[in-house]
Amino acid sequence: MKAIQVGLLGAGTVGSGVFTVLKRNQEEIQRRAGRGIEIAMVADLDTARAASIVGDHATVVNDARQVIANPDIDIVIELIGGYGIARELVMEAIAAGKHVVTANKALLAVHGTEIFAAAHQRGVMVGFEAAVAGGIPIIKSLREGLTANRIEWVVGIINGTTNFILSEMRDKGLDFDAVLKQAQRLGYAEADPTFDIEGVDAAHKATILSAIAFGIPVQFDKAYVEGITRLAPQDIRYAEQLGYRIKLLGITKRVPKGIELRVHPSLVPSKRLLANVEGAMNAVVVRGDAVGTTLHYGKGAGSEPTASAVIADLVDITRLHTSDAAHRVPHLAFQPDQMSSEPVLSMDEVVTSYYLRLRVADQPGVLAKVTGLMAEAGVSIDAVLQREAGEGEKQTDLIILTHDVREGAMNEVLARVQQLPTVLAPIVRIRKEELA
């Protein structure tokens, strides 16, 4: 049988990996897919660089629309990135009846509803395994392997760049900027690294996971997003002393009032496997009512790990593209007419526990005043750590770990504590996930 014909848009870090892995493993991939998978056309702005990657195995053009217009192309892989031209090209490919594979989480988190609806209507598949956690097959696991379960929560380290930065800062005492540059050199960081360090990339991925886990539409605009740029090295150290590590987590949970969808730095108990995921590695913990807790671990970025996920989608599409469209795995795991309207909760409604660091005057009664205000507000304290003031120092750090409390209530009490004359600097608040 003739090989299925693929057009590749964007021969950058991931695109070149797809080409290399497909070429290297083509024989085994063909035995799995049932027929060959051939990249016949490549579009990239830098045609000379693209030609140096693909040699004479594919036609190289600089206009991606030429690929979409080619009637011989069955599958279009979008590896350009961003919401601009990538969105236009994906929509045009779908309209032209091409199946699409993309690693573009930004595009899907923001425009997924429109893209999946168009694909459903046109009867084509959109594969996006590479969009979340790079090489880890978490989309397939959630959508197919765990399909029997009522998913309770999904919590993950889903941005390699920030995990790399936090690991290097903790292990080697390196400073933030130096480690970020290293992550960029290694190809982990997004073209615009603010997406990584401000939590936006993780929120794109968490949004996709949330949709698949709970059968809700992709709603990036409802996600709470906080990055790691304001984390101070002393909080990493205090957390360690208290038996925790700080990780940037993507969290989505089903709670009685709705769905939580949030990304922020979190203290995680050091004994949890998730706390020990280091460097650019990713890990996603999924809790289902039947299976219990499952951990999915692997490389979340990089050329070949991401290519591994892109090619898995190519194989799936190759196996399924002649099947009846109504009997394929739905894009978001649930049938399009069975999506839930459960609301995504505002951060004020989220119930979680906290690490607080207060810079206070080192004098009698300070701790009593702070804990008194917290007690009045019904905030229950789990642990207190007071750093011994150095010789001649008149200030000290007071660290408080709380039990679960509604974020709105916590905000109110923190505003009152902040007003105390003995609290000398803005209070640092980091949320805590026990993952029990």
Q: Which is nearer to ligand NDP, 187 or 330 (CB)?
A: 187
CB of 359 to ligand NDP, least distance (A): 39
37 touches 314 (CB < 8 A): yes
Residue 159 touches which of ligand HSE, ligand NDP, none (Cβ within 5-8 Å per kind): ligand HSE
Strands (E), 256-370: 258-269, 281-288, 292-299, 351-361
What does the DSSP assignment read for 13-61? HHHHHHHHHHHHTHHHHHHHHSS-EEEEEEE-S-HHHHHHHHTTSSEEE
245 touches 157 (CB < 8 A): no
Examine residue 236 and tell whether it contacts ligand NDP (CB under 6 A): no
Residue 161 touches which of ligand HSE, ligand NDP, none (Cβ within 5-8 Å per kind): ligand HSE
Examine residue 130 and tell whether it contacts ligand NDP (CB under 6 A): yes
Examine residue 423 and tell whether it contacts ligand NDP (CB under 6 A): no
Q: What are the angstrom distances between the C-alpha of 250 and each of 163, 305, 425?
A: 12, 20, 29
CB of 70 to ligand NDP, least distance (A): 14
Q: How far apart are CA 251 and CA 22, in angstroms?
A: 33
Examine residue 7 and tell whether it contacts ligand NDP (CB under 6 A): no
Among 160, 215, 258, 305, binds ligand HSE (CB under 6 A): 160
Determine the Cα angle at 87 with ends 83 and 93, to 5°: 160
Active site residue 205: yes
CB of 313 to ligand HSE, least distance (A): 15
**Which x/- pattern over 101-120 shows residues binding ligand NDP (rule: CB under 6 A)?**
--xx----------------
CB of 47 to ligand NDP, least distance (A): 9
* Token pair of 85 as six digits: 């031209």
Site for ligand NDP in 12-41 (CB under 6 A): 12-15
Q: How far apart are CA 100 and CA 110, in angstroms?
A: 17
Q: How far apart are CA 237 and CA 387, in angstroms?
A: 12
CB of 206 to ligand NDP, least distance (A): 15
How many residues sit close enough to ligand NDP to count as binding (CB under 6 A)? Answer: 27
Q: Which stretch binds ligand NDP (CB under 6 A): 77-85, 210-218, 225-233, 270-278?
A: 77-85
Among 74, 196, 198, 316, binds ligand HSE (CB under 6 A): 196
- Given 98, 205, 253, 299, which residue is catalytic? 205
Q: How far apart are CA 74 and CA 97, in angstroms?
A: 8
Q: What are the angstrom distances between the C-alpha of 91 and each of 2, 110, 117, 387?
A: 27, 14, 11, 57
φ and ψ of 386, to 5 deg: -115, 120
* Positions in the binding site for ligand HSE (CB under 6 A): 134, 159-161, 188-190, 196, 201, 300-301
* Positions in the binding site for ligand NDP (CB under 6 A): 9-15, 43-46, 64, 79-81, 85, 103-104, 130, 134, 187-188, 190-191, 301-302, 306
